[in-house]
Amino acid sequence: MSEYLVIVESPAKAKTIERYLGKKYKVKASMGHIRDLPKSQMGVDAEHNFQPKYITIRGKGPVLKELKTAAKKAKKVFLAADPDREGEAIAWHLAHSLDLDIHSDCRVVFNEITKDAIKESFKHPRPINTDLVDAQQARRVLDRLVGYNISPLLWKKVKKGLSAGRVQSVAVRLIIDRENEIKNFVPEEYWTIVADFKKGKDVFQGAFYGVNGKKVELKSENDVKSILSQIKGKEFDIASVSKKERKRNPAPPFTTSSLQQEAARKLNFRTKKTMMLAQQLYEGIDLGKEGTVGLITYMRTDSTRISEVAQTEAVNFIEQQYGKEFARSEQRKDKKSSNAQDAHEAIRPTSTMREPNSLKEFLSRDQLRLYKLIWERFVASQMAQAVMDTMSVDLKNGDILFRANGSKLKFPGFMKVYVEGTDDQTDEKEKFLPEMEEGEKVKSEVIDPKQHFTQPPPRYSEARLVKTLEELGIGRPSTYSPTLDTIQKRGYVALENKRFIPTELGEIVLELIMEFFPEILDVAFTAKMESDLDEIEEGKIEWVKIIDEFYKGFHKNLLKAEQEMEKVEIKDEEAGEDCELCGHPMVFKMGRYGKFMACSNFPDCRNTKPIVKEIGVKCPKCNEGNIIERKSKKKRIFYGCDRYPECDFLSWDKPIERKCPKCEQLLVEKKLKKGVQVQCTNCDYKEKTVE
């Protein structure tokens, strides 16, 4: 009876913690939740205050039996699940299953799995926070009421296997609304005039700004001709020179959302992959002689707060590594979202001194890349501002005004370590301007007018969708990744070129929900529900009251939908060819990764094949086949001959129809960081990069 029992969720976490606590402690894993609502029925009693009916999850019997045996032998049981709503609920369910007093000091929480953090947390055990449990329970009950009432309706009226959830329905709506914006978009013509100016030996660029000091937009070729006709000769007067110093702050440390966005932009990771790797780094990695160590703090958070200990360590590291002037001298107040939960810290390394390069031999390639991203972002957040020298020059020819802007880095500050990415990939580049004084003259070498058209808004990438959901106050850190996963699994949306496109099924389901359950799709309503859950967590309102308010209107809509919703038959679009196995027509289907062809005689015939996309180029190797677009197992596009395996021509770069003017060989479009460049596959011929 001298032993203490500690229960956590995962074996990896158990292994790390047991090493820190010593022989008196036995650490076991519950493998996530032990109890949940039953899958086979609603499990929520709407007649009696929405009381949930919890059962032991199928397959968890042996785990629970083992935990009960260990708990009986233990002097005291500590519940050390994750420090959030879900973790508190796991602890609460364990307490009920093991007959522990929830008001006793049985709950232990820590934000990082390090020796100091673990030992400190065990000095301050606390009772289970029932407000946190109620917030998790309210979300679970709410989602069950929505899902288990609307889903059977969709099965009856549309097809089996469909579901509807609060957050996932809003996510689908955003994707469909964006698609409609793109379809209805009418491009508008506009023009720019860019000139190359020469001062001495230096050449720099300036763009047309306006007339008589007022900004003028060029809408047509006639506007451009009018401006060009007013420019007399090649000489321009330097009308004004403005020099300023601009300071730039580093980005704050990562929250769950910003980590998912940046990992998508910089590492090309899907949200699911980012969270899986972050979980591994948090729970502990075997570092050889040092043993198993948690490398980052808890990865589900929407706070950018950092502990004083972590700040001090980071500043000491920065001063040693880069010099005192690179360390953050004052505490900047990072912007905090109005609905951020400030319960724990931002995502950061558990020790700044553990540099990414020192961990190479212990981490997988992707673990190391994510750790490096988190480490660099955190270190940069504790560094000094970057300082830019900017210069703006107005150049006049009569009444016509051109403007040239330049900048150069005066002091790199945090940029020495890390610069935040952007969705639009417009990285800041230094643009040098020669020294100029008011009253001097420069010559225009080339004046180049260009026609442009406004572009529709881009489709959502995973990163952009997560950012939008967060900005709208929909969902929480733990919900983003499973939400994106669910809407793809259900076939409501597909990823095409890493952008979400809605499917016909998604549009049909959304239309039905919009007609009968408009509040489910109301962005403001869903965001209000999230803030209500936060208020439950803070002990300000009763969870039953919130559910009851929602259910009254929802139940009325449900009764109406059961009577009035009409059956929808989804007819598959025919592909124009027959199945080579059974002769039935092939039809187009939409899967998780886009369109494919399938036999209409399914399930008797399960023949499927990819849609062949020709690019209009003859195979340069056999001169008989055509080049088609293919996809690798990892969904990366490549190009090959349609006579494969007879002809084995393959190319990652897209071949084009023209031949190289220099050697008559194959030209390809090479994707670069900043656009596409046409290159020869045989000689050094290259064309200008097109963005």
Q: Which residues are catalytic, by number? A: 298
DSSP summary character for residue 349: B
661 close to 685: Cβ distance less than 8 angstroms: yes
Task: From 623, 615, 580, 619, select the one nearest 598 (Cα to Cα).
Answer: 580
| Nearby residues of 643 by Cβ (< 8 Å), 6 or more positions away | 619, 622, 624, 625
Task: From 58, 41, 51, select the one nearest 147 (Cα to Cα).
Answer: 41
Q: What is the 3-state secondary structure (H, E, C) of 56-76?
A: ECCCCHHHHHHHHHHHHHCCE
- Please provide residue 262's backbone torsions phi and psi, each rounded to the nearest 5 degrees: -70, -35
Q: For 99, left (φ over 0), alpha (ψ -120 to 50), or beta?
A: left
Q: In what order do the strands lie in the sheet with 76-79?
A: 25-29, 4-8, 76-79
| Nearby residues of 388 by Cβ (< 8 Å), 6 or more positions away | 245, 246, 247, 248, 407, 408, 409, 410
- Please provide residue 189's backbone torsions phi and psi, each rounded to the nearest 5 degrees: -75, 140
Distance set, CA 543 to CA 132, 208, 298, 532, 550 (Å):
11, 60, 26, 9, 11
| Nearby residues of 690 by Cβ (< 8 Å), 6 or more positions away | 675, 676, 677
Q: Which helix (H) or strand (E) holds 311?
A: helix 308-322
Q: Which residue has the tokens 């519950």?
A: 30
- Residue 275 in tokens: 């969270």
Amino acid at 91: A
| Alpha-carbon dihedral angle through residues 602, 604, 610, 611, given to the nearest 10 degrees | -50
- How many angstroms from the chain centroid is the CA of residue 511? 26
CA distance 663 to 681: 10
Amino acid at 507: E
558 close to 572: Cβ distance less than 8 angstroms: no
Secondary structure class of 537 (helix, strand, coil): helix
- Residue 628 in tokens: 């088609």
CA distance 518 to 557: 9
679 close to 686: Cβ distance less than 8 angstroms: yes
| Nearby residues of 59 by Cβ (< 8 Å), 6 or more positions away | none
- How many angstroms from the chain centroid is the CA of residue 316? 32
In total, the chain counts a number of residues equal to: 691
| Nearby residues of 638 by Cβ (< 8 Å), 6 or more positions away | 629, 630, 631, 632, 650, 651, 652
A 10 A CB-CB count for 62 gives 8
Q: Which helix (H) or strand (E) holds 488?
A: helix 480-489
550 close to 529: Cβ distance less than 8 angstroms: yes
Q: At what angle do helices 130-157 and 166-183 cross, to 10 degrees?
A: 60
